[in-house]
Amino acid sequence: MVPETIFVAGATGLVGKPLIHRLVDRGHHVRALVRNDSSATLMLSMGAEPVLGDLAAPGPWQDHLGDCTSVIDASQARTPGRLTARRAIRLGRQRVQFTQNLLEAIRNGHAPLGSYVWLTGLDELVPGPDRFVDETSPINVRPHGFGRIGSQIRPVLEAASHSWGLPLVALHMGLIYGSVGWFPDYLRRIERGRFAMVGDPQNWIPLVSAEDVARAIVAVVEQRPVGRRYVVVDDAPARQGEFVQFLAEQLHAPVPHRHVPLWVAGLVVGRAAAETAAANVRGRNARIKAELDVAFQFPSYRDGVPPLVTEYRSPSPTSP
Ligand SMILES: NC(=O)c1ccc[n+]([C@@H]2O[C@H](COP(=O)([O-])OP(=O)(O)OC[C@H]3O[C@@H](n4cnc5c(N)ncnc54)[C@H](OP(=O)(O)O)[C@@H]3O)[C@@H](O)[C@H]2O)c1
């Protein structure tokens, strides 16, 4: 394995942090884009080289992409409050701007890029009648949920790939659980007796741990399967009712049985967020395992959730 110089946008996020750990552990040189000094200090402590900058605006940070051999975009614009359909479209526009600033920096660079890793979701794919998606699933021409963001970025990246050879690899990820983001929020609401499922408890939810997403990305960077796309989910698609029951049992809390229709959830969390929660989809991960030999540390949420519940109950001093 040849050590790479890798630029990571979104280094402080749910995916970003385990990714930085794993890349550094593998001996790669990591440049981590951060927006403030405390994030820069964190990145230094994790063994990465911080680069100060904002993806929304061109600036000196772009010079740090020039000699990178891989670029990973793990950024997400912030979503204060409810994620309505209109807000999701606005976020998509912001992410397009982020993407264009990254692409401009790459085009002005001087080292040949080995891979550009784009992280998107399953909302972009149309499930079959069995609700499975895989890499052969058609792209949804009527975006819903978080797919409203990805559907705006996709054409920009595909145009760059076709017109000047951007070495694009797309990862379609399930719902990523980890120590920040929606997962601890679920735990808090279950603990307080304020949790409601969105839609039918029998709906499928496609889960994957943030640690395993990091494994998948590292495999892509090291093997450069340019032009390929991969579904990144664990081995054990879950029904939302059974998942929520497992979380409650882990917390020793009463099992929530309340479920609300999509439109009611939309009033609380916003239409786009509710659509993703109620998507009723499961994924197949056969391609990434066969082609890139990715071995999941947590093949099922039953393996991945318990350590996170322990961390939730007794956060370490460095936890967010
Ligand atoms: N979470 C999921 O379940 C899920 C599922 C499928 C796909 N994805 C995709 O995976 C990627 C990572 O998601 P995530 O959940 O890890 O995101 P996240 O936890 O919300 O982290 C977002 C990251 O983007 C950074 N960022 C935001 N605005 C920025 C800006 N203007 N300039 C520079 N950095 C900026 C944040 O930095 P600060 O710390 O400075 O705010 C943070 O590091 C996203 O593209 C998302 O669409 C996520």
57 — phi, psi (to 5°)?
-130, 130
Predicted pLDDT of residue 124:
94
How far from 299 is each of 18, 92, 155, 221, 263, CA to CA, in Å?
17, 31, 32, 22, 33
79 assigned to some structural domain: yes
Q: CA Rg, the chain, in Å?
A: 19
Tell whether 223 is covered by a domain. yes
| 162 located within any domain | yes
Strands (E), the chain: 5-9, 29-34, 49-52, 70-73, 115-121, 132-133, 168-173, 175-177, 197-198, 204-205, 207-209, 229-232, 238-239, 259-260, 282-283
Whether this model's pTM surpasses 0.85: yes
Q: Look up tokens 């939730």; give the residue.
A: 312
- Mutation test residue for ligand 1: of 22, 76, 153, 213, the one with most atoms within 8 Å of CB: 76
Q: Which helix (H) or strand (E) holds 86?
A: helix 85-107
| Residue 241, number of CB atoms within 10 A of its CB | 18
List C-alpha distances in Å: 59 to 10, 163, 178, 215: 17, 25, 32, 31
Domain contains 185: no
Q: What is the CATH number of the domain that holds 131?
A: 3.40.50.720
C-beta of residue 305 within 8 angstroms of C-beta of residue 250: yes
Q: Which residue, chain included where needed, has tokens 């998509």?
A: 92
Indicate the number of domains in the chain. Answer: 1
Does 217 contact ligand 1 (Cβ within 6 A)? no
Report residue 139: phi and psi, to 5°: -75, 135
DSSP string, 230-289: EEE--S--EEHHHHHHHHHHHHT-PPP--EE-HHHHHHHH-HHHHHHHT---EE--HHHH
User: Taking Cα atoms as reference points, which of 36, 181, 28 lies closest to residue 117?
Assistant: 28
Ligand 1 atom nearest the C-alpha of 75 is 24
Q: Is the CB of 251 under 6 A from ligand 1?
A: no
Residues 6+ apart with CB under 8 A from 283: 122, 132, 133, 134, 172, 174, 206, 231, 232, 233, 237
**Residue 18 and residue 210 in contact, taking contact as beta carbons nearer than 8 Å:** yes
> Does residue 85 belong to any structural domain of this protein?
yes
257 DSSP β-pair partners: none
Spell out the per-residue pLDDT of the chain, length 320, in tens.
788 899 999 999 999 999 999 999 999 999 999 999 999 999 999 999 999 999 999 999 999 998 999 999 999 998 778 999 999 999 999 999 999 999 999 999 888 899 999 999 999 999 999 999 999 999 999 999 999 999 999 999 999 999 999 999 999 999 999 999 999 999 999 999 999 999 999 999 999 999 999 999 999 999 999 999 999 999 999 999 999 999 999 999 999 999 999 999 999 999 999 999 999 999 999 999 999 999 999 999 999 999 999 999 987 665 55
Are the C-beta atoms of residues 50 and 73 closer than 8 Å to each other?
no
Q: Helix, strand or coil for residue 103?
A: helix
Task: Tell whether ligand 1 has an atom less than 6 A from the beta carbon of residue 52.
Answer: no
Cα dist from 169 to 26, 45, 119, 221, 315, whole Å: 20, 29, 9, 9, 35
Range of the domain at 78: 5-176+206-234+282-297
Q: How far is the CA of 254 from the centre of ligand 1 (A)?
A: 32
Q: What is the pLDDT of residue 318?
A: 58
Q: What is the position in ligand 1's atom list of the atom closest to the CA of 175?
A: 3
Ligand 1 binding pocket includes 248 (Cβ within 6 Å): no
Q: Ligand 1 within 6 A of 292 CB?
A: no
Residue at 135 is within a domain: yes
Tokens coding 84: 């309505």
CA 79 to chain centre: 15
Q: Can you say how many angstroms the Cα of residue 290 is from the centroid of all Cα atoms in its chain?
A: 21
